Structure 1
Amino acid sequence: MATPAKKTAQRHGFKTGEHIIYPSHGVGLITAIEEQNVAGFSLELLVIEFDQEKMTLRVPVSKISSVGMRKLSDAATTKKAFETIKGKPRVKRTMWSRRAQEYEAKINSGDLLSISEVVRDLYRADTQPEQSYSERQLYEAALDRMAREIAAVQKLSDSEAVRQIEQELAKAPSRVAKASTADDADDQEAAA
């Protein structure tokens, strides 16, 4: 049986009304801190709501660090994430199944910089070949996670954050150069 939630309570640096990152689910909002008796033990729980998944999670305060829950990234980390996505994609020459597992692990790590690496590596411009279904799924999952954290940090809507990320991806020097060489090749073919 749950006792009434405490108003604006704080535990281990986390307080009600604060957005947090839960690694396997992304951005959540701490709505309450409550106590429950489970098997004769009194547990203090953080109640976290995830609007995107329409889910509520109760995390024991004692498990906060072991599950990897953390505060939102600061401005310096988000800036570094944008610098990461502008970099040259690093695609290993291993089997797709192995790379997919690594990408999935990075996404579920909850680390913004790791997620931005997945976004950078799986992004395809309009001038590039199409992605496979599984590549597209992983890209969209990483983009969604990154956008939701950027949106929470910068107080934007999710769609504004996605637009901002995609604009930065399009500006990446390696992609701009590839797009212009593709245009040059088309111009040369047309002239011939």
Structure 2
Amino acid sequence: MFKVGDKVVYPMHGAGVIEAIEDREVLGSKRKYYILRFPLGDMKVMIPLESERAVGLREVIDEKGIQEVIKILKEPKGSGSGNWNRRYRANLEKMRSGSIYQVAEVVGNLARQDHDRGLSTGERKMLESARQMLISELVLARNTERNQVENLLEKLLA
């Protein structure tokens, strides 16, 4: 169980901070909820405590994890199939996994593909979404500003 002030990742949404744990009545049912605030985008989400595992809520990575992300971004794996539809589905599964390392793979591979051959509109949107997920976690993990993380990503993906 997480506590107020913990930095956590909510897959497909990004990283945020647990602001409160509150009892709320929703649809006639009273439950405890994490109130999660996402610093990027200034959004709040309520997640039932009993659903934390099902939704894949996890802690933000540590310094060792940051170094692994940097390594992945420097040396991405192959982008897989030449078929954009298969590649899109594979990348979507990686993003849904909640793993920052798989999200970093998606960012690295799509950024390089965009540079080399360009991306379809769907893949460009996916790259932006994966990038935002990655940035949100690195901002909280490094306790830094968004522009510093964006500058780091630009250098790593150049």
- Do structure 1's residue 161 and structure 2's residue 149 form an aligned pair? yes
Instruction: Say which of 48, 54, 68 aligns to 2:36.
Output: 48
Unaligned runs of 5+ in 1: 1-11, 171-192
Any conservation in 2 of the 1:78–1:112 contact (CA below 8 Å)?
Answer: no
Residue 80 of structure 1 corresponds to which residue in structure 2?
68
Instruction: Say which of 94, 119, 139 aligns to 2:127.
Output: 139
- Do structure 1's residue 65 and structure 2's residue 53 form an aligned pair? yes
C-alpha offsets along residues 5-50 of structure 1, whole Å, 9 cap, x if unaligned? Answer: xxxxxxx1x1212221001211122111111345665411111123
Amino acid in structure 2 at the alignment position of 1:56: K
Larger radius of gyration: 1
Question: In structure 2, do the counterparts of structure 1 residues 39 and 154 end up closer, same or farther at CA, with 3 Å as the change threshold?
Answer: closer
TM-score between the two structures when normalised by the length of structure 2: 0.87
Report deviation, 1:52. Answer: 3.5
TM-score between the two structures when normalised by the length of structure 1: 0.73
Residue 32 of structure 1 corresponds to which residue in structure 2?
20
SS at match of 1:124: helix
| Percent of matched pairs sharing the same residue | 27
Report deviation, 1:84. Answer: 0.7
Residue 107 of structure 1 corresponds to which residue in structure 2?
95
Any conservation in 2 of the 1:74–1:153 contact (CA below 8 Å)?
Answer: yes
Whose RCO is larger (CA < 8 A, sep 6+)?
2
Q: Quick one: distance in 2 between partners of 1:141 and 1:47?
A: 22
Any conservation in 1 of the 2:40–2:136 contact (CA below 8 Å)?
Answer: no
After alignment, is 26-35 or 131-140 more displaced?
131-140
Question: In structure 2, do the counterparts of structure 1 residues 44 and 76 end up closer, same or farther at CA, with 3 Å as the change threshold?
Answer: same
- Do structure 1's residue 98 and structure 2's residue 108 form an aligned pair? no
Residue 129 of structure 1 corresponds to which residue in structure 2?
117
Any conservation in 1 of the 2:9–2:58 contact (CA below 8 Å)?
Answer: yes
Question: In structure 2, do the counterparts of structure 1 residues 52 and 116 end up closer, same or farther at CA, with 3 Å as the change threshold?
Answer: same
Query: Size of the alignment, in residue pairs?
Result: 158
C-alpha offsets along residues 55-104 of structure 1, whole Å, 9 cap, x if unaligned? Answer: 32211111111111011011111111110111144022242112111112
- Do structure 1's residue 149 and structure 2's residue 137 form an aligned pair? yes
Q: Quick one: distance in 2 between partners of 1:105 and 1:126?
A: 20
Unaligned runs of 5+ in 2: none
